[in-house]
Amino acid sequence: MANWSYQHLATDVKSWRATSFLCGTPRRRLAAVAACLFFTLGLLMAHLAMKTYSQQLYHSTSSPSTPHDKVIAMGPPHYDPIREYEKTLPQHNLDLPFPEGKTGRYVKFANQIRFLGWNNCFNEVLMNAHLAYESKRAYVFQDYVWAPHHYPWPQEQWYGDFPRTPLNAIISGPTAGGLWDEGDDAPRSVTEAWFDVVCPQGERRIINTREVKPDITEAPGLVVFETWRKPLHDAPERCIEIQAASAEEDAFAQTFDLQLWGNKDRVVPLLDAFMKSPTSRLLGTSPLVNSAIDRNEYIFFPRGPRPPHPVVRDPWERMMAIHLRRGDYEQHCQGLAVLNPGYYSWNLLDSLPDRYTPPPGGWTEENVAIFMPHCWPSIEQIVQKAHDARKDYIAASPKGGVQRTLDVMYLLTNEKGEFLGQLTEALQKDGWYTIRTTRDLILDQEQTDVSMAVDMDIARRAAVFVGNGFSSFTSNIVYRRLKDGKETGSIRFY
């Protein structure tokens, strides 16, 4: 066994000093003192550096993330598992009994909009699926076909003529082939590929929109809906395909077109009926979108000082989400100002607190000055709206409960320049200690492809949402929040 022993210290001071390095020759003592001072100074500088870094990290508006360029360099996703899921849906079976299988009833909306932003398409997808359900036909769901200039990847990386995303990557529920309520025998939605199998070209009845739309171009939304529902319901043919009239005949040849979505008197009663439908009630977030949010939820946990009163821990209940479209949207707003329109779709509901009535007189410099702050707000206007919305939301805290706190900000934005830095600085000065933006999210290829739906779902979950009343993106967030039962006072517009 090794003979381990402790070295004994000298018991008297003189002996200890005699053996100490620090108390050797004057030169040696001077060198030792200098070394101690240098070491202490180094420790102090390291401490100050770490403190500064910690403060920067604490108040940071960005989180470390995988470089976006790296994801783009890997190319767009193939979606093989989701494609296989859609291909093998159980309703894709010719032997199933009526109202599915080879004797089932189906409707394909070949006139469904393509090559626009997802949110313009989302409106129509849901309403077409609702119409199919009420007509007792299976809805034929389709890929989302991108507007090329919106797609994250350059054309040389595309896998076909146009980039496409499977519907089940973006949403879930009956519209995308999921189940209806228990006991509901409505036929389940099918893919385009299965429609070609179960409804060969020779067995389809074609209805061109020119046969229906001319009589309902200005009709209320409920009349438009019923005018389409009746022939789809009553037609004896199993398979119906709705085709679009030429652009010369109808610039908006969709079943539910742009002129409907932007007209309050026409669209609001239709939205009320749709909200109660199974198509709406059973709509869900896709697993892919949920995975992106789960992956990034940690960046939303509050990083500011502890509030002086008890608060909830859930970051979503402490979050305000703001839809901030910039870039090319300035030209879009200027174009809208010429038309002097009202808000869009769900944003038109009278129950929402921030309503907008277009000023009379059409396009004038005075009217443009009134319009633009609602569509293209300045930094000061954004900060003030966030301030007011927070104040109102906290003031509405339920009596006897935990006082509401809003100290987390999420900016749904395509902005990446100096404007964003100036805005976050102004928001921080107004008490927003944790600020995150779309660009802070860490996303893989598939999640990047559906990032518009990820942003929508974050805004859906936030305690308060501030949006742009002229935007279809804002409108769909408003719909999802109302469907979830969020109070109308938590939905604000510039």
pLDDT at position 14 is 38
| Residue 5 confidence (pLDDT) above 70 | no
Range 422-448 average pLDDT: 97
Residue 164 · residue 146 · CB < 8 Å: yes
Residue 217 to residue 258: CA distance in whole angstroms: 11
3 has pLDDT over 70: no
Whole-prediction pTM:
0.85
- Looking at residue 17, what is its pLDDT? 37
C-alpha R_g of the chain: 30
Pairing relationship of beta strands 204-208 and 144-145 according to DSSP bridges? unpaired
pLDDT greater at residue 405 or residue 47: 405
Least confident of 13-27, 227-241, 269-283, 474-488: 13-27
Comparing C-alpha atoms, which of 157, 177, 155, 156 is closest to residue 166?
177
In this structure, are residues 190 and 141 in contact, taking their beta carbons and an 8 Å threshold? Answer: yes
| Predicted local distance difference test score (pLDDT) of residue 311 | 86
**Domain-wise residue ranges, the chain:** 25-58, 89-281, 289-493
pLDDT of residue 354: 97
Give whole-number Cα distances, 42 to 35, 56, 305, in Å.
10, 21, 30
Taking residues 137-154, what's their average pLDDT? 96
Q: Residue 252 — very low, low, confident or very high, per pLDDT cuts 50/70/90?
A: very high
From 90-99, 297-306, 383-392, the region with the lowest mean pLDDT: 297-306
Burial (CB count within 10 angstroms: exposed 0-12, middle 13-18, buried 19+), residue 256: buried
- Mean predicted lDDT score pLDDT of the chain: 89
Does 3.40.50.2000 match the CATH number of domain 289-493? no
Residue, of 67 and 117, whose pLDDT is higher = 117
pLDDT tens for each residue of 46-94 = 444 444 433 443 344 444 444 578 899 999 999 999 999 999 999 999 9
Spatial CA neighbour of 216 closest among 273, 176, 173, 260: 260
Q: Which of 37-41, 58-62, 332-336, 427-431 has the lowest mean pLDDT?
A: 58-62
pLDDT value at position 292? 98
Work out whether strand 171-172 and strand 284-285 pair parallel, antiparallel, or are unpaired: antiparallel
Write out the two tokens for 250: 């109808």
pLDDT of residue 54: 39
Q: Is the pLDDT of residue 221 over 60?
A: yes
Residue 474 has pLDDT above 60, yes or no: yes
pLDDT digits (tens, 9 = 90+) for 413-431: 999 889 999 999 999 999 9
User: What pLDDT score was predicted for residue 310?
Assistant: 83
Which residue carries 């179960």 as its tokens? 198
| Segment 163-205, tens digit of pLDDT | 999 999 999 999 999 999 999 999 999 999 999 999 999 999 9
Quick one: three-class SS letters along the chain? CCCCCCCCCCCCHHHHHHHCCCCCCHHHHHHHHHHHHHHHHHHHHHHHHHHHHHHHHHCCCCCCCCCHHHHHHCCCCCCHHHHHHHHCCCCCCCCCCCCCHHHCCEEEECCCCCCCCHHHHHHHHHHHHHHHHHCCCEEEECCEECCHHHCCCCHHHCCCCCCEECHHHCEECHHHCCCCCCCCCCCCCEEHHHHHHHCCHHHEEEEEHHHCHHHCCCCCHHHHHHHHHHHHHHCCCCEEEEECCCCCCCCCCCCCCHHHHCCHHHHHHHHHHHHCCHHHHCCEECHHHHHHHHHHHHHHCCCCCCCCCCCCCCHHHHEEEEEECCCCHHHHHHHHHHHCCCCCHHHHCCCCCCCCCCCCCCCCHHHHHHHHHHHCCCHHHHHHHHHHHHHHHHHCCCCCCCCCCCCEEEEEECCCCHHHHHHHHHHHHCCCCEEEEHHHCCCCHHHHHCHHHHHHHHHHHCCEEEECCCCHHHHHHHHHHHHCCCCHHHEEEC
